[in-house]
Amino acid sequence: MTSRPLRDLGRRGFLTSGTLVGAGALAAACTSNAEPQSDSSPAAKAAGANAAPGKKVTIGFAGPQADHGWLNAINENAKKEAGKYSDVVLKITEGSNDAAQQASQIQTLINQKVDVLIILPADGKQMTPTGRKAMTAGIPVINLDRVFDTAQAYRTWVGGDNYRMGLNAGDYIAKRLNGKGTVIELAGIDTLPLTQDRTRGFNDALRNYPGIKRVGRAAADFTVQSGQARTAELLQAHPKFDALWNHDDDQGIGALQAIRQAGRTNFFMVGGAGSKSAMDSIKKDDSVLKATVLYPPTMAASAVRIGRLLGQAKGMSDLAEQEVPASVTLFSAVVTKDNVDSYLPLAFE
């Protein structure tokens, strides 16, 4: 497992969590399960003996506003996972893209003396003092995805691997082209470290294939509209190329619209993140989209599992150590027509 780098690895600059309930308020209903899990439950199968009901753990979940498909999936994964356990109560804040407001929401959770905090910060640097405040108060913090500036602000980091997204996308494209051809890149927001990491990984992959040349690149902003506009410009500027890598499946919806409008079928496309619309298209094989590289929102479910273990002073049953790890980096699998059925249950809307 790679060590957690001390820099911003978040998916986007305004990452997520929370249900909408009123400014600064906590969700009125906490997520819990009335019935204990049996040994045959999905949670028991996934977590082994650790899934047996134990000490009740109250987990606070705080993040920015969920204004994107992937971000909403973060919330849904957390709520669904918490609901599997009779000994977990999940308190989700409303969420805000304003760091000061998010800090206030987290302070409410600290004042309520939750057992564990899961924080996906609106801004990792600005929210670092809040993470440290929780840790100083004796509340272990799980830093989800967008990283704090110091390890003093969290107990465990859980997130995706932006660099490997780019690396795996580039490797898949190069192999599909048999090491020879031209590619175009539709990136996210260039000012974000996550976009820079994805491009860096993509470039590193292509260096291993001197016969592959990147002939065009444009940065969008993770929306359908921007994806369509930037792709239309790329198609007009490049009448011939062999492959397109799009960093984000949501903006990829717009990219596919532009491609259909241009009537272009003389290349293939690889997406990023793992949306259901992308996987459905890959399975049907009804467009130029042939693969997507995962950035799994299931990281929120994993964070809830880890939070429960921290609250019960348990380690991971599959590991030899008595404590949960300091970092968990998820793998960026490449989903194709050959394996899409295995990943469809994890896709986000």
Which CATH number is 173's domain given?
Answer: 3.40.50.2300
Instruction: Judge whether 222 and 248 are in contact, CB under 8 Å.
Output: yes
Mean pLDDT over 299-322 rounds to 94
Spatial CB neighbours of 117, under 8 Å, sequence gap ≥ 6:
59, 60, 61, 62, 106, 109, 110, 134, 139, 140, 141, 142
How far apart are alpha carbons 333 and 172 in whole angstroms?
Answer: 11
**251 with 181, same domain?**
yes
Q: Which domain holds residue 289?
A: 162-295+337-346
pLDDT tens profile 67-78: 777 888 998 999
pLDDT tops 70 at residue 60: yes
Confidence at residue 21, expressed as pLDDT on a 0 to 100 scale: 33
**156 with 301, same domain?**
yes
**141 with 254, same domain?**
no
Asked whether residue 37 is domain-assigned, the answer is no
pLDDT tens profile 201-229: 999 999 999 999 999 999 998 899 999 99
Asked whether residue 18 is domain-assigned, the answer is no
If one counts every other C-beta atom within 10 angstroms of the C-beta of residue 71, the result is 24
Asked whether residue 153 is domain-assigned, the answer is yes
Percentage of residues of the chain with pLDDT beyond 70: 86
**129 with 194, same domain?**
no
pLDDT tops 60 at residue 126: yes
Q: What is the mean pLDDT of the chain?
A: 87
What Å distances lie between residue 324 and 62, 125, 135, 142, CA to CA? 21, 25, 16, 11
Mean pLDDT over 270-295 rounds to 97
Residue 239's pLDDT band (cuts 50, 70, 90): very high
User: Which of residues 15 and 82 earns the better pLDDT score?
Assistant: 82
Asked whether residue 119 is domain-assigned, the answer is yes
Asked whether residue 186 is domain-assigned, the answer is yes
pLDDT tens profile 164-185: 999 999 999 999 999 999 999 9
Choose among 41, 20, 148: nearest CA to 84.
41
Lowest model confidence (mean pLDDT) among 13-17, 137-141, 173-177, 196-200 = 13-17
pLDDT tops 80 at residue 38: no
Spatial CB neighbours of 182, under 8 Å, sequence gap ≥ 6:
212, 213, 214, 215, 240, 241, 242, 243
Give the number of domains in the chain.
2
Q: Give the up-direction half-sphere exposure of residue 69: CA atoms within 13 A in the CB hemisphere.
A: 21
Residue 48's pLDDT band (cuts 50, 70, 90): low
